[in-house]
Amino acid sequence: MTALRTRTASPTARPAETEPRARFADLLAAEWIKFWSLRSTAGGLALIAVLIVGSAVQQAMYDRDNWGRWSPEERAAFYPLRDAFVHNSYLVAMLAAGAIGAVTLVSEYGSGLIRTTFAAVPARRSLLAAKACVLAGVMSALGALIAVSAFLASQAILADHHAGLSIRHPGVPRAITGCALLLPVCALVGMGIAALLRHPASTIVTTTGVLLFLPLFFSPEHRWSREARNTMPLVAYDRLTDINPHPWGLYPPSLAEAWAVFAAWPLIALLIGLAVVHRRDV
């Protein structure tokens, strides 16, 4: 009798269906849509662009208009890249880029959408990797566009007094590349901190402190402190954009160290994010 039931039930039994795993290209497409669906994203990117290019144009116009009042010594000491990449504008851009990177992830934790996301895509590491790829791609493209635009606009204004530099001038391509990469570096650091803290307010505050205020705690007078300060993204940015040699004091960072800092910070942030997202509950 038992065998009869088994034979009768077997033709109607349905094999278990398995959901196909999401391809990485699908994850990239989904994260692209989510990235641009945030209201703060477009506004933050526009703010960075207007701030950096606008500051470069304003500073170059100021120097062009005051060129006739300068002494020969002041003209000889003029540093054209200070007009192309205004330092204070990039400080604000670092903060904005870090905030955008943080919001990319922490907004899902704040709204509770992260539960739906992880339920739809259990492969959390792949999900975070896709999010990081979209973030890094957008910020790199924006950084390159802004850096080139700020340089060309400022040097065209300074060309009235033959004070501008060519884009092929030694050191200029390095400076443009450093400025372009600063945005994705800061954005990925912000996303890594968001994965670690998962709280909007604490994430933004910590990102700001790490990117902007942490270098201030290291004194340039002692070797160990100076070497630690040289590992900060802000110091690496200053070194990469410095084509006019000036005294760096004791233990200056090398170009190789600056590039290594730019590579290490986002890599470490991503590894931390992958580790905590995989191990923690939502």
Q: Is the pLDDT of residue 215 over 60?
A: yes
C-alpha gyration radius of the chain: 25
Say which residues have a Cβ less than 8 Å from residue 62's Cβ, sequence separation at least 6: none
The answer to whether residue 145 scores a pLDDT higher than 70 is: yes
Rounded Cα distance, 132 and 130, in Å: 5
pLDDT of residue 170: 87
- Name the nearest CA neighbour of 151 among 136, 124, 171: 171
16 has a pLDDT exceeding 60:
no
Residue count of the chain, please give it: 282
pLDDT digits (tens, 9 = 90+) for 76-121: 778 888 888 998 999 999 999 999 999 999 988 888 788 888 888 8
Any idea what DSSP says for residue 23?
P
Identify the CA nearest to 95 among candidates 212, 192, 8, 215: 212
DSSP H helices in the chain? 2-9, 24-37, 39-65, 72-76, 81-84, 87-111, 113-120, 124-158, 172-197, 200-208, 223-229, 233-240, 255-279
pLDDT interval class at 227 (50, 70, 90): confident
